[in-house]
Amino acid sequence: MLALVGWSAGCAEAMAVEEGDCSNSRTDISTDRPDVTNSSLVVPRGSLQVENGINWTTRQSATVIDGSNSRLRIGIAQCIEVLFDLPDYFHALRGRATAGYSDFSPAIKRQLGHLPGDIELSATVGLEIPTGTARIAGSGYGAYIQFPWSKEIGGGWGLSGMFTAFLFPGEPASNPTLEPTFAIERQVGSRADFFAEYVADRPRHGMAGQVFDSGGAFRITPTQQIDVRAGVGLNRAAPDYLFGIGYSFRFDNVF
């Protein structure tokens, strides 16, 4: 884990961005939801952003609801944020499934700047602290490192994606689990955008779960957003269906 942090820090220094390249209080809210692919942008320095959602997930044996799927993001410096995934509660609406909480997960994210081809790139390193229900979150500490990216291609269209490597607690046979994502986005007017996304979870051993995801977001104000998503599993290792709704907001110049 320390090696990953040090490596990310080295990347950040090597690809330092200019101050004007990162978000500021005049930038519209940009969230890590509703799609799996996170934003390649950080929140403005001194701002607090709260992202929330509720999800329904259906498999052959059970239907599970979880919420609130909450992430706190704080801009601690120019182009750097810390984020906290709060414990999320899972409950079976149909069938048999374990009820309980996920782990508390802190992380740090650095906006790295533009790659060749005008691709915006960030890096995130996170830790899973064993505070949740063991049958849901696993036993022991976990960690992840991820690289979200995005590229505008004109006419309101854009491409984005993310590569994540997970170390899940108590699952040596699955570690590392790699998760590539790829999304096509379309902005409609100044307040709305839609996306279609492919997600694959590839454990070290076993079948990869593949999902087609879609949805959109609407900015009520420059600092408030509502969103919706719907997805379908592409093979038996993935959920059959998933659906989610969310509300996010940002307070500027808090710190």
Give the tens place of pLDDT for each residue, 179-221. 999 999 999 999 999 999 999 999 999 999 999 999 999 999 9
Query: What pLDDT, on the 0 to 100 scale, is given for residue 114?
Result: 86
Query: What pLDDT, on the 0 to 100 scale, is given for residue 252?
Result: 96
Domain of 12? 2-251
Question: What does the alpha-carbon distance between residue 30 and residue 38 come to, in Å, rounded to a whole number?
Answer: 9
- Number of domains the chain contains: 1
Question: What does the alpha-carbon distance between residue 71 and residue 30 come to, in Å, rounded to a whole number?
Answer: 13
Closest CA to 123 of 160, 148, 142: 148
Query: What pLDDT, on the 0 to 100 scale, is given for residue 20?
Result: 56
Q: What is the DSSP string of 199-236?
A: EEEB-SSSPPEEEEEEEEEEEEETTEEEEEEEEEESST
What is the pTM assigned to this prediction? 0.90
Asked if 103 and 90 touch (Cβ cutoff 8 Å), the reply is no
Closest CA to 48 of 255, 253, 205, 251: 251
Which segments in the chain show pLDDT lower than 50?
1-16
Give the domain CATH number at 185.
2.40.160.40
Structure tokens at 118: 């005008």
Angle at 171 between CA 167 and CA 175, to 5 degrees: 40
Query: What pLDDT, on the 0 to 100 scale, is given for residue 1?
Result: 44
